[in-house]
Amino acid sequence: MNTWRGLPAWALKEANVRTEDGSRVVLPYYLLDGRLYAERVVAIDGRRWWRPGDGRPVIPYGLAWLEEPRFRRYRVLLLAEGESDALAAWGALAHHGVDVLGVPGAGTWKPEWRDHLDGYCAAYVAGDGDDAGRALTRRVTHDTGAQPLELADGDDLRALIQRGGGDAVLELMSAADRRADIRSAWDRSETVDDFAAALETIGQAA
């Protein structure tokens, strides 16, 4: 296929995304070992369904992209909402040391998926800039400790990348790190002067 939702053709090819009958997009879901687990089918009118439709548990999108555990300490993990956001982030950020995992939908997150974050030096989550996406971000942050990326109202990761490239996401990651540093400084400070000194150090390091 040439493109889908403006995503790079090479990324779709690498992920084995294909079209059927010119009207459906098929997104394969693979296990960690690369075996095909299921497929998400997206119709031209936006309807979605799973194949096979046998009720098997949902898994994250992009498991086969994850780094081997022994090398994860050199990379970070970004959790995105939906397949197209995950594909956009993977295409833009993989060469920046960022692995990407897609949560199939805002309401599909499972706490046991936090095991996939093991070994990474840092983790971030970027739900869409709407109520459902922000609820997803809060759940993932609560369950995993991942740093939340703050997207503007109505925005999503794919649109952000298509406007500003991977650098736009890296800037959000840097902002999330600064917020985490400030929270940590507050927790460690015994006095207002301690906190002010810590903020000055954070500002110098930025």
Q: How many folded domains does the chain comprise?
A: 1
Closest CA to 62 of 43, 41, 77: 77
- Per residue in 61-77, is it b (16+ CB within 10 Å) or e — as a string? bbbbbbbeeeebeebbb
Structure tokens at 167: 């650098």
Phi, psi angles (nearest 5°) of residue 148: -80, 135
Dist CA 117 CA 103 (whole Å)? 13
- Residues 29-84 have pLDDT tens digits of 999 999 999 999 999 888 999 999 999 999 999 999 999 999 999 999 999 999 99
Considering only CA atoms, give the Rg of the chain: 18
Q: Is residue 157 part of a domain?
A: yes
Residue 12 forms part of a structural domain: no
Tens-place pLDDT, residues 74-107:
999 999 999 999 999 999 999 999 999 999 999 9
Look at residue 33 and tell me if it is in a domain.
no
Is the separation of the CB atoms in 106 and 116 below 8 Å?
Answer: no
* Domain-embedded: residue 202: no
User: Can you give the CATH number for the domain in which 110 is found?
Assistant: 3.40.1360.10
CA distance 41 to 190: 55
Domain, as residue range, for 97: 57-180
For residue 186, pLDDT over 90 is answered with no
Predicted pLDDT of residue 160: 98
Please indicate, yes or no, if residue 134 is contained in any of the structural domains.
yes
Residue 132 lies in a domain: yes
pLDDT tens figures, 123-147: 999 999 999 999 999 999 999 999 9
Token pair, residue 138, equals 């809060």
Please spell the DSSP secondary structure of 10-73, one letter per residue: HHHHHTT-EEETTTEEEEEEE-TTS-EEEEEEEETTS-EEEES-S-PPP--BTGGGSPPGGGGG
For the chain, what percentages of helix, strand and coil (3-state, to nearest 5) are there? 45, 20, 35
39 in any annotated domain: no
Asked if the structure places residue 106 within a domain, the reply is: yes
